[in-house]
């Protein structure tokens, strides 16, 4: 397990608010995940998703994020390990930052969309296109059955077939690791 402090963004022309929140990576049933060490209020920016920006349309990896205009971000830890949920507690958003030379640089930020409890896994909705959809294992009551954009679920079912119904108790059950 590793713990990362949320530090301000290193860019001098834009910074996230300084945060004392801590997160950690740990093992999940489907690989590594990112967990809250502290309670996180809704609307809190957790940090910049840093990594290597790749140019070109041919690059692919399990963690790659599309930035548009033939650019992709290969994220660094810890945020490369944020897993999918059909009922996520975080979201990513992109900010285009203009530097002192007029060059624009994309920045990806992760933010809590609801209150997150201590030891709860941080999740986002990957919202993949139907052509790339794979079966989902989030086990949420509102699980779509596929890791796919909600508007493309019908197309994913046409392309990949209907998945068996999951039986999940309750409307929402956050993933929490035992201490």
Average pLDDT of adjacent 10-residue blocks, the chain of 179 residues? 35 49 89 94 92 83 79 89 95 88 87 96 93 89 91 92 56 37
Judge if 33 and 50 occupy the same domain. yes
Judge if 102 and 149 occupy the same domain. no
Could you tell me if residue 26 is inside a domain? yes
Judge if 11 and 33 occupy the same domain. yes
Judge if 25 and 110 occupy the same domain. yes
119 within 8 A of 36, measured Cβ to Cβ:
yes
Give CA–CA dist 133/93, Å, rounded: 21
Domain that holds residue 60: 2-125
pTM of the model: 0.78
Judge if 119 and 107 occupy the same domain. yes
Give CA–CA dist 72/57, Å, rounded: 8
Judge if 95 and 28 occupy the same domain. yes
Give CA–CA dist 77/140, Å, rounded: 25
- Which pLDDT does position 173 carry in this prediction? 36
- Which pLDDT does position 18 carry in this prediction? 58
71 within 8 A of 104, measured Cβ to Cβ:
no
- Which pLDDT does position 87 carry in this prediction? 96
Assign residue 107 the CATH number of its domain: 2.170.270.10
Give residue-wise pLDDT tens across range 66-104.
Answer: 777 788 888 999 999 999 999 999 999 988 888 889 888
Judge if 28 and 93 occupy the same domain. yes
Give CA–CA dist 18/36, Å, rounded: 17
- Which pLDDT does position 5 carry in this prediction? 37
What's the number of domains the chain is made of?
2
Could you tell me if residue 175 is inside a domain? no
DSSP 146: E
- Which pLDDT does position 98 carry in this prediction? 86
- Which pLDDT does position 164 carry in this prediction? 59
């Amino acid at each position: 397990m590793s713990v990362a402090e949320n530090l301000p963004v290193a860019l001098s022309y834009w910074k996230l608010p300084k945060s004392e929140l801590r997160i950690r990576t740990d093992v999940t049933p489907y690989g590594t995940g990112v967990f809250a060490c502290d309670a996180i209020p809704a609307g809190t920016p957790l940090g910049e998703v840093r990594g290597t920006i790749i140019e070109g349309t041919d690059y692919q990896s399990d963690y790659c994020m599309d930035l548009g205009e033939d650019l992709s971000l290969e994220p660094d830890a810890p945020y490369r390990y944020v897993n999918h949920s059909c009922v996520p507690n975080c979201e990513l958003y992109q900010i285009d930052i203009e530097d002192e030379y007029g060059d624009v640089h994309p920045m990806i930020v992760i933010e809590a969309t609801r209150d997150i409890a201590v030891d709860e896994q941080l999740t986002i909705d990957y919202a993949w296109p139907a052509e790339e959809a794979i079966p989902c294992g989030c086990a949420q009551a509102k699980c779509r059955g596929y890791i796919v954009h909600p508007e493309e679920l019908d197309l994913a079912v046409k392309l990949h077939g209907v998945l068996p119904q999951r039986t999940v108790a309750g409307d929402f059950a956050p993933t929490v690791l035992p201490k």
